[in-house]
Amino acid sequence: MPRRTVAVIGAGAAGLVAARELLRVGLHVAVLEKSGRTGGTWAYDPRADDADPLSRDPAAAGAVHGSLYASLRTNLPRQLMGFSDFPMAGRVFAGDARAFPGHREVLAFLDAFADEHGVLAHVRLRTEVLRVHPLGEEQGERWAVAFRGEDGEVAEEVFDAVVVCNGHWTVPFVPKIQGIGNWSGKQMHSHNYRTPEPFQNQNVVTVGMGASGIDIALEISHVAKEVHIASRYSEDRLGKFNLYQNFWIHKEIECIQDDGKVRFAEGSAVPADVILYCTGYHYYFPFIDLDGLTVDDNRVGPLYKNVFPPKYAPNLSFVGLTTKTIIFPSLELESKWVAAVLSGKATLPSQEDMMASVLEHYRRMEEAGRPKRHTHVIMPDWEEHMNWLADQVGEPHLEARSLELLVKALCGTWSLDEGYRDHCEQDDDRDTTALKGLFGLV
C-alpha cells in the first residue's frame, strides 16, 4: 500500500518536530511554509509595521509576520529548550553559550535539528496555504489543501491528513479601552517593538505583565522618562518599583480621562506619550472554515487535549496551541502522539468520548472561574499535562528537576530583576515558596 501523506502547515518549531515524528513512523510529509525560511517566530525580522502599529490587518500586503525584539532571550533555560534526543543544553549553535540564550541561538538550534533529521528536504518555502477542507467519506476523509506557491500560482493537493502548526504569535490582541478614541498619543503592540530608542524621554504605559511585557518595559526604562506597567495581576506590588528610578506598577487601565491622562483601576492617573500593548496574540487560521470548529475568545474548539477536533480526528490535528508550559518538550510529545495515531500505533477514544472530555474540561474551567481565553493555558498543571502526553506514547514522565527549573525561571521573570537570567542557575537558594503557592504547587 502507498504511504499515507500528511501536510504540515508551518515550519516553525512545532512544524519541524511534527515533521520529524511523522517521518519517523514512515509517513510521507510535505511541510508548507509561507515565509522564505524555516524557524517560524524564531526567525528575527528587524522590520516593524510602522503604518499599522497595532497590526489590525494581518492579511494586508507587506504585513510583518515576526514578533521578536532585537534583545529577546529565552525565558526558560537551555535544559528546557531542547528535544529529548536533540538537547540544547551542553551545546552551542550560534556562539551564544548563555544559560538563557538569545533568539539567534534558538534559530540556529532549530536549523541544526531540521538538518540532522532530514526535515529540510520536505519543506516547501514561500508556500502560502489558502484553504484546507475535507473531501468526504467517499474518499476516506482525505483533505484538499489549496496553496499559492513561490511563482504566485494557486494549486491544490490532496493529503490523507493535515497537521496545523502555524503558531500563534503573529496576530496581536489589543484590548478595548474606554475613551481611547479621543486620545492623541501613540498606540502600538509589542508585535512591532524592536528596540527601545524610539521611546527616548517619553512617558510610556505598557499593558501586560507576561515575560515579554516585563522584558520590554524594563528595557524601555533605560531611555524613557517614565515607564508604567498596567496589569490585572499586579495587586500585590502597586506603586513605584524601588529597583528602578522611573518605574511604576498599576492595576489595569480603567479609561482615558478627558484631560488625556491614562487612569488606572486603583485610581491613579498619569500623562503618557505611548501606550504599548504587551497583551498577547489571537489564534488565527484564515485557511480553515469548518463546521463545528471555531475560535471564540481565543478558545480553539472543540479540541481533545488541545490537539484533535473530535469531528475531524484523527486526520486533522493541531500542534503547539498550548501556552505557559515547557513548550519545546510539549511540542515533541504532541507530535509523537499525532504520529502514533496517524500511523495506527495508537488509537483515540470515540468521537463521543472525546467530546465528553472536552465539555468536562470546559465545565471545570467555568467552575474554577477561569476565563475562556485561558483554555489552552497549561499553568499550573504542567506536570499532569506533560505526563499525560508521555503516557500516550510510552515516553518517560517529566523529571522533577525540570519542574524546579521552570518554577525558578518564572520566579526570575516575576522578580522584575533584569539580571535574573544570568544568575538564575546559580541562585539555588532563591525562595520560590510564594510563587509555588501562586501556581498551585503547594
Domain identity same for 79 and 140:
yes
Residue 441: the pLDDT is 47
Q: Please report the beta strands in 197-333, taking only residues with DSSP state E, as ranges in sequence order.
A: 203-207, 226-230, 239-240, 247-250, 253-256, 262-264, 269-270, 274-277, 281-282, 294-296, 299-301, 316-318
Angle subtended at Cα 34 by Cα 2 and Cα 88, rounded to the nearest 5 degrees: 85
Domain CATH for 214 = 3.50.50.60
Asked if the structure places residue 416 within a domain, the reply is no
> Does residue 384 lie within any of the structural domains?
yes
Same-domain check for residues 183 and 222: yes
Separation between Cα atoms, residue 72 and residue 24, nearest integer Å: 33
Within a domain: residue 398? no
Q: Which residue in 308, 216, 413 sits closest to 430, CA to CA?
A: 413
Question: Which of residues 245, 277, 309 is at a domain's end?
Answer: 277
Radius of gyration of the chain (CA): 22
Q: Same domain for 33 and 98? A: yes
SS3 content of the chain, % helix, strand, coil (to 5): 30, 20, 50
Helices (H), 85-125: 103-116
Tell me how many domains the chain contains. Answer: 2
Q: Are strands 203-207 and 274-277 parallel, antiparallel or unpaired?
A: parallel
Asked whether residue 132 falls in the same domain as residue 147, the answer is yes
| Distance of alpha carbon 306 from the chain centroid | 13
Residue 163 lies in a domain: yes
Our measurement of the distance from residue 119's CA atom to the centroid of its chain's CA atoms, rounded to an integer in Å, reads 22
pLDDT at residue number 62: 79
Quick one: which of 161, 133, 132 has its CA closest to 147?
132
What is the structure's pLDDT at 283?
96
Range of the domain at 188: 174-277
Distance from C-alpha of 101 to C-alpha of 111, rounded to nearest angstrom = 15
State which H helix or E strand residue 76 sits in. Answer: none
Inside any domain, residue 431: no
Q: Do 220 and 270 lie in a common domain?
A: yes
Last residue of a domain, one of 256, 277, 298: 277
Rounded to 5 degrees, what angle do the CA atoms 79, 81, 87 make? 65
Residues 17 and 115 in one domain: yes
Whether residues 34 and 132 share a domain: the answer is yes
pLDDT of residue 425: 61
What span, in angstroms and rounded, lies between the C-alpha atoms of 27 and 396? Answer: 24
Q: pLDDT digit of tens for each residue in the chain (442 aa)?
A: 567 999 999 999 999 999 999 999 999 999 999 999 999 999 999 999 888 899 988 888 778 889 999 999 999 999 999 999 999 999 999 999 999 999 999 999 999 999 999 999 999 999 999 999 999 764 458 999 999 999 999 999 999 999 999 999 899 999 999 999 989 999 999 999 999 999 999 999 999 999 999 999 999 999 999 999 999 887 678 999 988 999 999 999 999 999 999 999 999 999 999 999 999 999 999 999 999 999 999 999 999 999 999 999 999 999 999 999 999 999 999 999 999 999 999 999 999 999 999 999 999 999 999 999 999 999 999 999 999 999 999 999 999 999 999 999 998 998 899 999 998 765 554 555 555 554 444 4
Evaluate whether 40 touches 12 at the Cβ level (below 8 Å): yes
State whether 313 and 367 are in the same domain.
yes
Separation between Cα atoms, residue 145 and residue 158, nearest integer Å: 6
DSSP strand pairing (253-256 vs 154-159): unpaired
pLDDT number for residue 139:
45
Is 422 inside any structural domain? Answer: no
**How far apart are the C-alpha atoms of 375 and 395, rounded to whole Å?**
25
Q: Are residues 178 and 222 in the same domain?
A: yes
3-state class (DSSP) for residue 112: helix
Check residue 8 and give left, alpha or beta (phi > 0: left; psi -120 to 50: alpha).
Answer: beta
DSSP assignment letter at 83: B
Residues 28 and 159 in one domain: yes
pTM of the model: 0.94
Q: Is residue 434 part of a domain?
A: no
Non-local (6+) Cβ contacts of 228 within 8 A are: 203, 204, 205, 206, 248, 249, 250, 262, 264, 270, 272
pLDDT confidence of residue 32: 98
